Amino acid sequence: MNINPFEIACVILSGGKSSRMGEDKSLLPFSSSNSLIEFQFNRLKPYFKDIYISSKNDKFDFLKDKSKLILDKNQDIYSPILALQTILEKFDKVFIITVDTPLIKISSIKKLLKNSNNFDITIAQTSQRTHNLCGVFSNNLNETIEKMIKNDIHKINYLVKNSKYQIINFDDDNEFININNKNEYEKACNYKVIK
């Protein structure tokens, strides 16, 4: 099958503490892969012109090309805002997804990308919640992010509400499952990934 990759880079966020899981969820085995991050990286790679992993440190044995690793500038604080700051210094526009959202359909990503023009943030929403770290982000956010960091504000929702954003609705809550604990991990492991 010949795939036309999206003309945008994808960055998988994998720098969280995994405190609710009790261990680093990015390194848990998933599907036929040795780890969740390896699964997510290899699954999305054919669909994007470039794909990267954002993290606090290099903990990924499978990743041979270390240029695909974006390390947070600030190593002390765990914050997706700090990760976004580092990422958006490298890209004009980028698709962001977390490592713990492995079931999203490619067609859903396509819908987010298609509808992202003229907005600085385009994110997914289902009946259960808004998925603030699944969507398209523009480097027009850099100034707002700088101010947030200066004022010690690290909430993604604050960034969304203080930017030119739009929310795209999706019906399937399961494809946006967020793996934060053992029950969600088991549920995701038993769910069939659909393109």
For residue 191, pLDDT beyond 80: no
CA distance 73 to 112: 28
Q: What is the pLDDT of residue 184?
A: 85
Tokens representing 55 are 């993290």
Measure the N-to-C terminal CA separation of the chain; round to a whole number of Å: 13
In the chain, how long is the greatest CA-to-CA distance?
49
Residues annotated within a binding site for Mg(2+): 100
**pLDDT at 192 exceeding the cut of 90:** no
Place of tokens 């053992």: 182
**Distances from the Cα of 113 to the Cαs of 14, 74, 125, 149, 152, in angstroms?**
21, 29, 14, 27, 30
Domains and CATH numbers, the chain: 6-189 (3.90.550.10)
Note the helical H segments in 13-76: 36-44
Binding residues are 13-15, 25, 72, 100
Tell me the per-residue pLDDT of 75-126, one tens digit each, with 9 for 90 and over.
666 788 999 999 999 999 999 999 999 999 999 999 999 999 999 999 999 9
pTM: 0.92
d(CA 94, CA 35): 24
- Chain segment 28-82, per-residue pLDDT in tens: 889 889 999 999 999 999 999 999 999 988 888 899 999 999 988 766 667 889 9
Task: Give CA separation, 93 vs 3, 34, 105, 140, 187, in Å.
Answer: 21, 30, 20, 9, 32
Q: Give CA–CA dist 32/51, Å, rounded.
A: 20
As annotated, the binding site for GTP includes 13-15, 25, 72, 100
Under the banding of pLDDT at 50, 70 and 90, the label for residue 4 is confident
